[in-house]
Amino acid sequence: MRGFCRRTKKVFVLVFIVLFVVWLFVTIIEFSFGLTVTTDDLIATGKTLRNGRQLKAFITSSYYYPISKSLGDNALALVLSINLVRNPANQLEHILSPDPSELIIMAQNASSSVIVSAPYVRVTPHEVCQVITIFATVQLISNVKSISMLGDNGMAEIPFTMPSYTKRDVVVCTSPLFVSEQWQNFLLAVHIYRKFGAHMNLYLISSVTSFYELMKEYEREGYMTVQPWVKVDFPGVPKTTADPFNQIEFRNQAASQTDCLLQFKESARFVTFLDLDDVLIPKIAPTYAEEFQKLMDGKKKLAYIFYHKENYDAVVARDSSRFSLKKMFGSLECKHNRETGKIVVDPRNLNYTWIHFPPILPNGLEKYEVTENVITHLKTIVWTDDQEQSRRILIEPLYFDNSTAKIISSKDILSIEKDLRRMIRKPRIRKIFAKLPNIHYFTDLVVKCYNDRYYRYHYSGRLGDIKCPGPQLCGFIQHPKIKCTHVTATHIPMETLYPITYYYATDAYFTSDIGCYAH
Ligand SMILES: *[C@@H]1O[C@H](CO)[C@@H](O)[C@H](O)[C@H]1NC(C)=O
Ligand SMILES: *[C@@H]1O[C@H](CO)[C@@H](O)[C@H](O)[C@H]1NC(C)=O
Ligand SMILES: *[C@@H]1O[C@H](CO)[C@@H](O)[C@H](O)[C@H]1NC(C)=O
């Protein structure tokens, strides 16, 4: 994921120039013919599209806010995955059938209804994948009972949920996990977040079954939430029209992050977006909230603060009966190698975000690059049979800057280790602990697949060969002894609407019937 933005910058710039020229061309034509957008035009657009390509939008988030400080009361926020990026082969279609610039939405309550149009914005800033993420928000009426998306030949009712109104200081949004075996890494992260005052909201596609059971216990104990992350699918739509398996960036990570931002928009003071192997530990204050507040105080209104990532190696016990966080902390070794970082936001100052940061800075807001602290990125985690280090020695891992600074104090390490022991003593967790995997298999396949099919092209400069890193980038040969729990849901087939057909999934749950896959 890192390097994606840096190395393909030139390609993006080129694509943007091309798009700008096309846009200029269309605008000039529109001006010279004196066209303005009216409802008739929308219908005409639909008619054109009926003969051209079809737009397919999958709703990944649909939140209705009875009260919202930043979106306005009775606001709806939608995140959609839509096949807006054209196949480079038929860019000309753009001129023949311009895309609609708004979504038309109808809301009803017990006594009245309203039809509104909502302009949408692009979340995905590049054109490498054809199915991209977009965001739209609009104010509706009070006590909404039903919401429908309108097309020129009909409409479709869509589901919606309320965002969280449970007050929290900090929410950590963990990017979707798939075929995950990294239970040691999870324990480190979840205990650190608890210690320093954050709630973990983890998006899950699939993981080894015992690891899934462990997460569910931590959820029961109030440390975190497991949020099912369902695949984008358009039942009945040919791949040539919209291909959600090959043409969505990184299992729709940007949409998951935006979902998390929207879900906690009204309830969290701060939201941050981290991968499971990114460990952020406060350095200039005793808690996350105090550190973030300190960094934001006295500055102009910030859309986000940006923490760099420093790579570390970690060594962990493969056997869960020998696992300790104390030893894991002690094993951390800095690689003196930096990667693209992650952001922390005040959710009132941002409406949507891409994988590393938002595609644009909202009007009048600024960003701040944090120099006071970094994210500890567990780049490689080695599983060993035994760790040399004796049980009694306590090593405080070093901060990356070659000073005498530590990432975490021995006092905090001991208190985190104590909390782990307290959890392991719980009978249900003890039972699961004994089943945690002592070998890793899918972890290695993922690393190899991403290097072979993705990063290799960045590092060798073969940018033209980069394909969309879609969910099907990596196929996995199953392992006879390793079983996964995987998300599933009901994907509803829809009647074609013009100009856009809207799809969604309902009844998401986890099952052991699917296997270890990335989507
Ligand atoms: C329906 O919405 C309108 C406009 O917001 C509001 O005045 C009315 O009270 C609502 N009706 C109900 C039953 O809530
Ligand atoms: C978020 O959306 C609301 C409603 O459209 C808008 O008023 C606000 O300025 C947006 N916030 C940012 C940071 O763009
Ligand atoms: C710290 O030392 C390592 C090697 O000893 C070096 O590669 C790295 O650049 C140094 N880092 C800083 C921030 O000075």
Contact, 102 vs 117, CB < 8 A? yes
C-alpha 140/C-alpha 489 separation (Å) is 28
The whole-number pLDDT of residue 451 equals 79
CB under 8 A, 24+ apart: contacts of 506-513: 506/159, 508/228, 508/230, 509/228, 510/204, 510/212, 510/228, 510/485, 510/486, 511/485, 511/486, 511/487, 512/209, 512/483, 512/484, 512/485, 512/486, 513/486, 513/488
**What three-state secondary structure class fits 136?**
strand
pTM > 0.85 = yes
Q: Is the CB of 109 under 6 A from ligand 2?
A: no
Q: What is the whole-number distance in angstroms between the Cα of residue 201 and the centre of ligand 3?
A: 34
Q: Is the CB of 137 under 6 A from ligand 2?
A: yes
**Ligand 2 pocket, mutate which of 351, 352, 367 (most atoms under 8 A from CB):** 351
Domains of the chain, residue spans: 2-51, 168-511
The whole-number pLDDT of residue 45 equals 46
For atom 3 of ligand 3, the residue with the nearest CA is 336
Q: Is the CB of 362 under 6 A from ligand 2?
A: yes
When mean pLDDT is compared across 32-46, 51-65, 344-358, the lowest value belongs to 32-46
Per-residue pLDDT of 287-333, as tens digits, reads 999 999 999 999 999 999 999 999 999 999 999 999 999 999 999 99
Query: What is the position in ligand 1's atom list of the atom closest to the CA of 112?
Result: 1
Per-residue pLDDT of 85-129, as tens digits, reads 987 666 666 566 678 999 999 999 999 999 999 999 999 999 899
- For 150-161, what is the mean pLDDT? 97
Q: What is the whole-number distance in angstroms between the Cα of residue 68 and the centre of ligand 1?
A: 17
- Counting ligands in written order, the one closest to the CA of 66 is 1
| Sequence-ordered list of residues with C-beta below 8 angstroms from that of 485, at least 6 positions apart, any chain | 206, 207, 208, 209, 212, 213, 510, 511, 512
- The residues that bridge with 117 in the sheet, in sequence order, are 104
Pairing of strands 102-108, 75-82: unpaired
- For 11-38, what is the mean pLDDT? 48
> How far does Cα 1 stand from its chain's mean position?
12
Query: What is the position in ligand 1's atom list of the atom closest to the CA of 109?
Result: 1
Per-residue pLDDT of 121-133, as tens digits, reads 999 999 899 999 9
